Every structure is written in structure tokens, then in C-alpha cells.
Amino acid sequence: MENFKIYPGVEIGKNARIGDFVVIGVPAKKTQHKGIHTLIGANAVLRSHTVIYAGNKIGNNFQTGHAVTIREDNQIGNDVSIGTHSVVEHHVKIENKVRIHSQAFVPEFTILEEKCWLGPKATLTNALHPFCPKAKECLKGPRIKRGAKIGANVTILPDLTVGENSLVGAGSVVINDVPANTVVAGNPARLVKKIKDLKCRYDLIEKPYF
């Protein structure tokens, strides 16, 4: 007996593995059911208690940890992994080979470019003034550029850009744009060094990222 639920309008590619109590194609509203297509590519691994809302377009080799929630109308590329208990809100763009670790939060209107990486409990935000009567009219999540790495427990404020190949140190609070190829850390996050200056403390490799 199958212990998961798939709503109408869902298409799943070949070789998918679907865990217990997974739900796919949940309508965002009770009336929003007909005519909404949800696509998940080949070789998906959806672990137990994952919930994926309707209208998502997800590429091949997609993986979730346990109890992942993905809201409606997202564009998700190939080879994307989303860790246990992470939440991706609606209208998010996630490009190929993005890795989101456990318990991360990705709000509406965020862009995660190819090969970027969110560490455990990373929190991205999208409301500049949450209690403003017009708050929902100007929601805008961060843009994490290609290859950028966001450390564990980092908080990133709305409408910021974290530059290509940059690194945000664990526990940082990012309140300004981060330039490409730099390391920032702290609260508020400040420039520490260039990526090219990073060294492996164990002498296993000459350059950790280049």
C-alpha cells in the first residue's frame, strides 16, 4: 500500500523514490485545483513527510531530506538538494546544482543561482518593514549569486546580493551587498579577506575554492 498522496495535475519522471507520507501537488487554495501542472523530473528522491505544493517545476535528480516544505510556483533546476526541515516559500528561483542544508528558510522572490550553497539554519528574509501596511507589495528576497557559500546560522536581509563565489561566515548577519570573490563575517558582516587568500588549515589542498 502506498503511504503518500499525489494530487491531480502532477507529473513525475522515471525512477522516482517517494517516501512515506509525502504529499505532492497540494493546491495553495481549496479552489485552486484544476489546470495547475506540477512537474518533477527523473530520478527524484523525496524523503518522508516532504510536502510539495502545486505549480512547481522541478528538474532531474532532485532530492529532499525529511519533512521539507516547498510552496507553490517555484522554478527549480537539475541536481538540487534541499535538506531536512527546510522551507522554500513560493515564487522562488533555484538554479542547477544548488545545495540547501537542513533547517534553512528561503522566502518568496529569492533567487539562488547555480552551484550556490546554503548552510544549516541559514535564514533569508524578504520584508523590509514587516508591519508596514504595504509590506506585501515590496517583498523581495536576496539574490545569492553563482557559487556563493552561506555558512550555518547566517541571516541575510531582504533585497541584497551576495556576490559570485563569495563566502559568508557562520553566524553572520548580512545587511549590505557582498562583493564577488570575498569573505565576510560578523554582525553586521564585514569584509575579512578575498577568496583567493583562503588557505587550507590542514594542508590538504593549495586553494580551497580555486
Active-site residues, by number, are 129
Phi, psi of 158 (to 5 degrees): -65, 155
- Torsion on CA atoms 185, 199, 121, 85, rounded to nearest 10: 160
φ, ψ of residue 73 to 5 degrees: the values are: 60, 40
Collapsing DSSP to helix, strand or coil, 142 comes out as: coil
Rounded to whole angstroms, the Cα distance separating 55 from 144 reads 23
DSSP summary character for residue 194: E
164/162 Cα distance (integer angstroms):
7
Grid cell locating 199: 588557505
* Rounded Cα–Cα distance for residues 32 and 50 (Å): 20
Question: How many angstroms separate the CA atoms of 173 and 166, rounded?
Answer: 15
Task: Tell me how far apart the alpha carbons of residues 98 and 95 are, in angstroms, rounded to a whole number.
Answer: 6
The phi and psi torsions of 137 (rounded to 5 degrees) equal: -85, -15
